[in-house]
Amino acid sequence: MARIKIEQVCIGLHIKLDSWMGHPFLFSNFKIKNEKQIATLKSMGLTDIEYLPEKSDTRPAPPPPPPPENTGAEEPGAGAAADALDALMCEKKARIETLSHERDQIRAAERKFIKTANSVKNVVRLANSNPAHAVQLAGEIAGELAEIFLVEQNPYIHLMGDNIADESAYFHSLNVTILALILARALSVDSEEVMRDIAQGAVLHDIGKAMMPSQVLLKDEELTGAETKLLQMHPGYGIKLMQPVATLPNRVREIILFHHEMIDGSGYPKGIKADTLDQAVRIVAIANAYDNLCNQRIAKLSRTPSEALSHMYKNELAKYDKAALSAFIKSLGIYPPGSIVKLKSGKVGIVMSVDSADLLHPNLMIYDPAIAKDDAAVVNLRRDLDDAVERTLRPAALPQPIIDYLSPRKRICYFVDQAGNG
């Protein structure tokens, strides 16, 4: 890091400002892209500035000649420059207010997520003692979530905060429900009945695990062959639990029993080819497989969202409905929530949410040590940064300060809301 005269600033230099609020730029650490940014810096009355040689594309301009003696007269254009700076500061203030409002919307979505997750938890708890009540509650959850996808407005997909996610099984069921509805919408499923059945089936798909021993479900190392066979019995156990509930739709029963069946017949419990099953089953199977890859029982084996999608398409395509898997990948985008990305500008951030209508420009939380982590803004890649993703990163490859700041989620959890409403 070095200091140069403000007159030496040129396009391609990566500069660092001393504070965050004392200037009109969204970040205090950035690369100069145009003459307008240079003019703004000069209008701030700075005499010198820090720049980072290792992040710059060029060297500073030559030092300026000594300034003429001060006559006391105001420099030409000084008033206009001051007015322009004031306007930019007002623009930044308005942008900060917008970002603050969006942060409030994200927090509102997180509150809804917690409430819904607790309802799913109650479904699991009631499965053994009162299956009819569990089914009723699952139906209510399904109706509320399906309604988000049955309106014309595009859903907004959020990554939930790491402070509300743990290793509990009901987060998996909620994740699979959200992901299955995302895929159903992408496949143009517009029947309210089918959407509700998909959602209810997804909420209940692992209900048979309520009859599994906790030492198998919570084991944090590889299962033995016997334990694996026992775990693979959970779809049958689930149907057994739900058998007394006459009101449970057949489509939901099929999801519970067959959500691990594959197109090539390699699944379980019956090893039948899933292309003979209802589309709803194939939809939940894809959502379930994706979430299992991202949130594996042995945490170190979990894949990043991009890796999970790539693995499913490149290595397991024969297992899934190809058209449905392609639609799933397209609906989550190249950079699903939870992806850590490096931008062309050199910035690093975590994808916090995506608008299904504009998947190439997700909303990111950017690592910026000049801004406190608790105040870090979630900014839009196009609206706020005018930047682009260069590549995705694995959390393990990041320096510890960036890991601590971005807090890559131990468990990737999704929730949805209407675009513009959270």
DSSP state of 77: T
Tell me which residue has tokens 């890091």. Answer: 1
Closest CA to 325 of 337, 311, 304: 311
Q: Taking the CA atoms of 147, 152, 157 and 161 in sequence, report the sign of the dihedral they define.
A: negative
Q: What is the pLDDT of residue 380?
A: 84
Q: Is 362 helix (H, G, I), strand (E, B) or coil?
A: strand
pTM here is 0.80
Contact 57, 12 (CB under 8 A): yes
Q: What is the pLDDT of residue 158?
A: 81
pLDDT truncated to tens, each residue of the chain (422 aa)? 789 999 999 999 998 887 666 777 877 788 898 888 898 888 888 889 999 998 899 999 998 777 666 655 555 555 676 777 777 778 767 776 776 777 777 778 888 888 898 899 999 999 999 999 999 999 999 999 999 888 866 677 888 765 555 546 678 899 999 999 999 999 999 899 999 999 999 999 999 999 999 888 888 889 999 999 999 999 999 999 999 999 999 999 999 999 999 999 999 999 999 999 999 999 999 999 999 999 888 778 888 898 999 999 999 999 999 999 999 999 888 888 888 999 988 889 999 888 777 888 888 988 988 777 877 767 888 877 778 899 999 887 889 899 888 876 667 888 887 654 43
Give the amino acid at 177. Answer: T
What is the rounded end-to-end Cα distance, in angstroms, of the chain? Answer: 39
Whole-angstrom Cα distance, residue 380 to residue 98? 11
Return the bridge partners of 392, or none: 341
